[in-house]
Amino acid sequence: MQAKKSLNANLILKRLKKALQINTDIDLSKLLNIKPNTISTWKKRDTLDYSAIISICNLHEIDLNKILSEKSYNEKVNNITVNNTPLIKRELQFEYCLGNEDLLNSLPQYHFPFIQSKISRAFEIVSNNMNPTINANSFVVCEITDIKSIEENAIAVIISKTKGLIINRVINNSPLENNFTLSNDNTFFRNTTIDSDDIKEIWAVKNILIRI
């Protein structure tokens, strides 16, 4: 999955090579099982395949936070508190939607350089209703928001009291003040509506980690 934007991909790749005790992009490409020119493309475009980086760090027991950021958890940088983001995979989403308070403490947490909010989440996407913008099995990294603050036509992850986890564009085109349209980017799916009272949580999508 490739982030649409990244902070200094070249620096992050240097840290990864140092942690793996290798010196060249060719060596790194072999470990990541990708072509060497893919790494060159990442550097030129300042993008990263976070899926590959997370996998290689997990495999070699490397602290991902040291790869993605020089700053430690909860350290204040330029008066902004940098927090780690819990990663919620598909198999845990039902439990998350039920409101298990102990679940977050057991989840892997990562610091994504492009997220500066104190409260954030990364969700694995199961449905293709937002294809081609977001493919199933990709991840979206989000910041907490509310229905009054979400921008018109913005992509959001909604934790519904009745429907669980859903991802849509949120459009307020209803004559009813608390009734919102949930729009899909995939025309195969029909738009639906949701009442604000049915929303437990709403997360504004800030970055899409797409598979390459």
Task: Grade residue 211 by pLDDT with cuts at 50, 70 and 90.
Answer: low
Say what the pLDDT of residue 104 is: 87
- Looking at per-residue pLDDT, the higher value among 3 and 139 belongs to 139
Share of the chain above pLDDT 90, in %: 46
Q: In 3-state terms, what secondary structure has residue 149?
A: coil
Q: Residue 4 pLDDT > 70, yes or no?
A: no
Tokens of 146: 């509310």
Say what the pLDDT of residue 22 is: 92
How long, in residues, is the chain?
Answer: 212
Find out whether 117 and 205 touch, Cβ atoms under 8 Å. Answer: no
Residue 93 phi, psi dihedral angles, 5° rounding: -70, -35
Task: Grade residue 175 by pLDDT with cuts at 50, 70 and 90.
Answer: low
Among the ranges given (11-15, 46-50, 122-126, 195-199), the one the predictor scored with the smallest mean pLDDT: 46-50
- Nearest CA to 159 among 123, 116, 105? 123
- Looking at per-residue pLDDT, the higher value among 111 and 94 belongs to 94
Say what the pLDDT of residue 5 is: 44
Q: What is the mean pLDDT of residues 51-60?
A: 81
Residue 96 CA: distances (Å) to CA of 109, 123, 164, 177, 196: 15, 11, 9, 28, 19
**Domains of the chain with bracketed CATH:** 2-68 (1.10.260.40), 76-210 (2.10.109.10)
Say what the pLDDT of residue 157 is: 97
Say what the pLDDT of residue 137 is: 84
DSSP letters, 59-101, are: HTT--HHHHH-SSPTT-EETTEE---EEEE-GGGHHHHHTT-T
What's this model's pTM, rounded to 2 decimal places?
Answer: 0.66
Name residue 3's beta-bridge partners.
Answer: 209
Task: Grade residue 145 by pLDDT with cuts at 50, 70 and 90.
Answer: very high
Q: Residue 160 pLDDT > 90, yes or no?
A: yes
Supply the mean pLDDT for the chain. 83
Pairwise CA distance, residues 9 & 197, whole Å:
41
For tokens 């350089």, the residue is 113
Amino acid type, 105 = N
Pairwise CA distance, residues 151 & 109, whole Å:
27
Pairwise CA distance, residues 134 & 154, whole Å:
13
